[in-house]
Structures are given as structure tokens and as C-alpha cells.
Amino acid sequence: MGVYTEYHPKWYRRHVSTWWWMGKWNYLKFIVRELTSLAVAWTVLLMLMLLNSLREGEGSYRDFLEVMRSPGLIALNLLALLLTLFHSITWFNLAPKALAVRVGGRRVPALMIALPHFLAWIVVSAVMAWLILRR
């Protein structure tokens, strides 16, 4: 039989505050990165609203554009945009850690993996903007 440490519910444990992540920049960065997911979900919600308005007809689409012009929403969207940019940048910077590519027994340098992601991001964004905005 193995030797187990018995469960002692009354042992002293340090209490960790709910605000533990406020102390250090690294912890704060971690929480901000986690919160970027809210901005991502919010953008999907906006897209669903756009799709719904397109479905309903031109008047509904005009209403959607009008609602999006309200200053409060623009401010919220600017904040959300910063968060989604933070997500993209941290995501592409992590890619070399997830993809350990080896060529000829040597590990490909991190920059060589991150850089194509950033380039693809720029191209994909430009194509998307062109598709939507071209007249």
C-alpha cells in the first residue's frame, strides 16, 4: 500500500484574496489576456446582430448602422478592439511555444514561427476589409 497524506481540512491555509492579480504586472497581464475572451464573444454577438439585420431587410440594416453610431457603443467597441488586439498579439507570440518545429535536428527560432502568423494576420485583415468595403 502506498503512503498517503491524509486529508486535514482544518490545516492552516493562507487565504488568497480575490484581487490577487492586482499586485504584479505579470499577473495583471494574465487576467487581461483572459478577459480578451469577453471582447471576442462581444464581437461575435455584433456579427450575429448584423446578420440578423441583413436578413430582415434594408431598413433593419440602416437601424443597425445607426445604433452602432451611439457614442457609448463606440467607446465600448474601442475598448473591446484594444482587448482583441491584445489577444491577437499574445496569441501569435505564443505560437512558437505550441509549435516546436525542428529542421535538421535544430529547433526553428521563435521569430521564424511568430512572424508568418503576424504577416498572415495583416494579409487576412486587408483582404477582409477589401471584401467588405469595395464599391
Partner 1 sequence: MKAERSNEPFIWSLFSAGGMVAAMLIPVLLLLFGVAIPLGWVEAPEYQRLLALFRNPIIRLGLFVICSLPLFHWAHRFRFTLYDGLQIKHLNELIFTFCYGGAIAGTLIAAYLLLTL
Shortest Cβ 102–partner 1 spacing (Å): 21
Instruction: Please identify, using beta-carbon distances, which residue of 61 and 108 lies nearer to partner 1.
Output: 61
Helices and strands: H and E segment counts in the chain: 4, 2
Give min distance, CB of 76 to partner 1, in A.
Answer: 8
Task: Show Cβ contacts of residue 20 under 8 Å, excluding neighbours closer than 6 positions.
Answer: 27
Of the two residues 78 and 104, which places its CB atom closer to partner 1 in the complex? 78
108 touches 101 (CB < 8 A): yes
- We find the least distance from the C-beta atom of residue 105 to partner 1, in angstroms, to be 27
Identify which of residues 98 and 104 has a Cβ nearer to partner 1 in the complex. 98
Q: How many CB atoms lie within 10 A of CB 12?
A: 6
